[in-house]
Structure 1
Amino acid sequence: MIPSRVGELPEDQDGGTIMSLPEMMFAEGEEPVGVRVLTYQSSRIINTILNALDEEEVQVIRQSSFGKLVEIADKPAFSGRFARFLLSRQLKVEKKHEAWFRFAGQPIRFSLREFAIVTGLPCGEFPKKQKVKKKKNINDKPYWPELFGSVEDMRVSTAIKMLRKKTVTDKDIRMKLACLAIVSSVLLSTNLKMKMLKEHAELLGDMEEFFAFPWGRLAFDMLMTSIKKKDEISLSQNSIALKGFALALQLVIVEAVPSLTEVVQESCSSSESDSDEDDVDGVGSKTKKKTLSPAHAREVDKKEEVCFPSILFNDILGIGKEYTSPRPSKTGRRVGACMG
């Protein structure tokens, strides 16, 4: 997949690039002032899952395709207020799987490529569905009962308690519970109850297959669909809800503008982070997370002195080609994005 540009980038005589960017959803200075973005993911859920595991089990996850999520657990938590600030600064982009945001005078793209870079998750094509066999193998049984017996519904919070209290001691089963909890509550969170899905559990029969599955593409599609559904009217509301791994959007912006993490603050309630289900059996509420400072983000945005690092422009994953992103100015559409 080759990174797509917003438009053609003809060079001028000075070696720069001039282009016409899409219109802003809201004119500069007229962006709606909302409160926050709500997500269904607890700001502490990754830490809570990892803390319920032994160090040896955490190392297994660290060495898998979910490995970068272990690193993400130590980064600033999702800031609903910062996300609200960002969403009101979107460009009008028709592509279904791409969004652009204006920050510090420059447009920043959020696509599957950037999502893959910051999450480290598999983002390839979905595997083709196997043709239904004429004669079903007598040994083909649902995998869900292997994990949960006759229990039909299993909440993530219950599974985490089982891990933390060592109700389940089998190493293989413990790892599968942890992975299913990550998928359900981190990557594909759609409601506060955070229930595990049987269709995801079926992949656990083969852990190699499970880790190779393009969870990143699935999570990105869910998040992007949620973002694209928000028009000017819905973006003018005080609170906006997003499904999926909304933290990935913040991670992309932070990779482009590292100075955002120079000032952080404690997240002491769901008013700053995300969902109201922030603790599991009272454990999560004891640990405060650091989150971005919306006030500092506004200051960085106003200065317009940001040089974006190369991670967002150089194709370190071999997905596409190197390119330079355009930067709009208040007086025209002259380009000059800095390369770190």
Structure 2
Amino acid sequence: MTSQNSSSSSTKTAIFQTLVNEATKSAEYDLPKYNTGELPRIGHLKMIMDPMREYFPVKVTMKSKIEAFEVIRQNLDPETEMPIFKEFAFGHFISMSENMIYFGVLTHYLLLRQIKIKKSHELWFMVNGTTTRFGMREFALITGLNCGETPELDVVLKASKNIRLLEHFKSHVVLVADLKKLLTGKKIKGSDKAKIAIIYFLAQVLLSGDEKKTAPLDWLSYVDDLEFFNSYPWGRVSFECTLRALRKNLKEKFQKWVRKGRNKSIKKTYSICGFPWAFQVWAFETFPTIGATFAKMVDGRLPRILKWEARRGMAVPILYPTEEEMNSMCMRLYLSYADQEDPEIDQLASFLDSSARMPKPVPEGELELQVQPEPEAELEPQVQLEPEAELELQVQPEPEEQHEPQVQPEPEDQLEQQVHSEPESESKNEK
């Protein structure tokens, strides 16, 4: 128990130190070109809480169950049913790593650093003088989901008429546990089983709750119409659910903790519903040092929840889409809110938009050069040698021994130790 508490404490210390130092580290790629002092009206922004003086111990959990991916993978036929699942708007999530760990303490540290704003549909944070935003556009870029306009009521009602899939259930009340039982059993197969997996994913991951939660009957109707289902703005629905959960009244929780004598052995607990994985990946994107320390990086995948490249540097205030992302469905259908005016925040966002520069992707050729050490290129001309010299080169392998230290991926090994060691302790401690 002592070692677990020690590991948990060191994880919290590492996150805190990263947040404090993040904005001062050197960047490896182009970041917005401005000084903190140039931010318009930044001196007028007020924090909801004092993150140092009003910090209190807490355990943060979440309802979204990543284990649902494994249930789906194990019970859908890879040849007949999984391709149907992938045709739906959530199909790309099946490639999301099931080994991802949720850092509740990271969520808590960020929520303590919220800026007091008038906006209803976004959160702003202040970390060491650097402002960052988590809004629906960031959610869309992370998840790749449709955050567009909600269909007209008559279209929704038309899609809600047929509840054919209800015939697979014993009553008109469908529990999430019933969905899992149907999915893991042998009662159904083919397209119906793939559609039940989609509803199960919605209830357990994207609009998360618990196994006692009921699944709306409308979902059983929507999933029978692939075109309607894929055009529905599930991203907007999931974002709103997640945002409501993140808007915790931490001030009130802190005051209750103070009234109970500031007992550090008593931890408050709160849960995040919706899809908090998107908020965590946003933190990895926004604070690359956190990503490099607490996550496993994968190259070549979009949307960003499937891959992201951790780059050390100051915080990225707002996520901007790449050229490839601009042509994606989530950006083409994206529809922003007609939110109320907030002069300070509006001026700040406008300034950041005008001064931002997009990160430059590393060309494939440069990536190959980084993976393959230069000495191999130098050995190429030696192929054209006299036979004796060529034989001599094969007999004496000194050059290979000289190049071995350059081939060993020691930095990656060290990074993996940082990524996997402390999070496991944190996860055990939460259990």
Asked if these proteins are the same fold (TM beyond 0.5), I'd say: yes
Mapped to 2, the partners of 1:131 and 1:162 lie a distance apart of 29
Q: Which of 78, 91, 115 is the equivalent residue of 1:55?
A: 78
| 2:174–2:217 contact (8 Å) kept in structure 1 | no
Q: Which of 228, 235, 239 is the equivalent residue of 1:216?
A: 235
In the TM superposition, residue 250 of structure 1 has moved relative to its aligned partner by 0.7
Mapped to 2, the partners of 1:118 and 1:19 lie a distance apart of 27
| Partner-residue secondary structure (3-state), 1:160 | helix
> Match for residue 319 of structure 2?
312
> Match for residue 20 of structure 1?
41
Mapped to 2, the partners of 1:146 and 1:216 lie a distance apart of 29
CA pair 117-67 structure 1, distance change in 2 beyond 3 A: farther
- Does 1:259 pair with 2:289? yes
Mapped to 2, the partners of 1:112 and 1:13 lie a distance apart of 24
Mapped to 2, the partners of 1:132 and 1:18 lie a distance apart of 44
Mapped to 2, the partners of 1:160 and 1:225 lie a distance apart of 27
Mapped to 2, the partners of 1:104 and 1:110 lie a distance apart of 17
- CA displacement, residues 90-131 of structure 1 (integer Å, 9 cap, x when unaligned): 111221101012346522211111111111111111111018
In the TM superposition, residue 222 of structure 1 has moved relative to its aligned partner by 1.4
The count of corresponding residues between Structure 1 and Structure 2 is: 277
Mapped to 2, the partners of 1:245 and 1:116 lie a distance apart of 12
| 1:89–1:103 contact (8 Å) kept in structure 2 | yes
| 2:179–2:200 contact (8 Å) kept in structure 1 | yes
CA pair 206-310 structure 1, distance change in 2 beyond 3 A: same
Q: What is the one-letter code of the residue matched to 1:34?
A: P
Q: Which of 115, 133, 155 is the equivalent residue of 2:175?
A: 155
Q: Which of 63, 68, 77 is the equivalent residue of 1:45?
A: 68
Q: Which of 124, 128, 139 is the equivalent residue of 2:152?
A: 128
**5 Å matches for 1:135-174?**
141-148=162-169, 150-169=170-189, 171-174=190-193
> Match for residue 271 of structure 1?
none
> Match for residue 269 of structure 1?
none
| 1:223–1:244 contact (8 Å) kept in structure 2 | yes
Q: Which of 111, 122, 126 is the equivalent residue of 1:102?
A: 126
| 1:23–1:91 contact (8 Å) kept in structure 2 | yes
> Match for residue 113 of structure 1?
137
In the TM superposition, residue 209 of structure 1 has moved relative to its aligned partner by 1.0
Q: Please, what is the CA RMSD of the aligned residues?
A: 3.8
Q: Which of 159, 166, 179 is the equivalent residue of 2:198?
A: 179
Mapped to 2, the partners of 1:53 and 1:311 lie a distance apart of 38
| 1:38–1:241 contact (8 Å) kept in structure 2 | yes
CA pair 132-181 structure 1, distance change in 2 beyond 3 A: closer
Which has a greater percent of helix?
2
| 2:242–2:273 contact (8 Å) kept in structure 1 | yes
Mapped to 1, the partners of 2:135 and 2:46 lie a distance apart of 19
| 1:78–1:247 contact (8 Å) kept in structure 2 | yes
Mapped to 2, the partners of 1:231 and 1:221 lie a distance apart of 19
CA pair 58-32 structure 1, distance change in 2 beyond 3 A: farther
Gaps of 5+ in 2: 1-32, 258-267, 297-309, 337-348, 360-431
Gaps of 5+ in 1: 1-11, 267-299, 327-334
CA pair 125-235 structure 1, distance change in 2 beyond 3 A: farther
- CA displacement, residues 32-88 of structure 1 (integer Å, 9 cap, x when unaligned): 233222222224223333332222433443453213322334462322222122211
> Match for residue 381 of structure 2?
none
> Match for residue 3 of structure 2?
none
Q: What is the one-letter code of the residue matched to 1:240?
A: Y
- CA displacement, residues 164-195 of structure 1 (integer Å, 9 cap, x when unaligned): 343322x1101110110111111112345243
CA pair 80-58 structure 1, distance change in 2 beyond 3 A: farther
Mapped to 1, the partners of 2:249 and 2:87 lie a distance apart of 37
Q: Which of 256, 277, 290 is the equivalent residue of 1:247?
A: 277
Mapped to 2, the partners of 1:146 and 1:173 lie a distance apart of 11
Mapped to 2, the partners of 1:13 and 1:48 lie a distance apart of 47
| 2:130–2:317 contact (8 Å) kept in structure 1 | no
> Match for residue 4 of structure 2?
none
| Partner-residue secondary structure (3-state), 1:54 | coil
| 1:307–1:337 contact (8 Å) kept in structure 2 | no
Mapped to 1, the partners of 2:75 and 2:156 lie a distance apart of 39
| Partner-residue secondary structure (3-state), 1:38 | strand
> Match for residue 398 of structure 2?
none
CA pair 82-131 structure 1, distance change in 2 beyond 3 A: closer
CA pair 142-68 structure 1, distance change in 2 beyond 3 A: closer
State which drifts further: 118-127 or 48-57.
Answer: 48-57
CA pair 30-246 structure 1, distance change in 2 beyond 3 A: same
| Partner-residue secondary structure (3-state), 1:51 | helix
| 1:125–1:214 contact (8 Å) kept in structure 2 | yes
In the TM superposition, residue 18 of structure 1 has moved relative to its aligned partner by 2.6
Mapped to 1, the partners of 2:187 and 2:270 lie a distance apart of 38
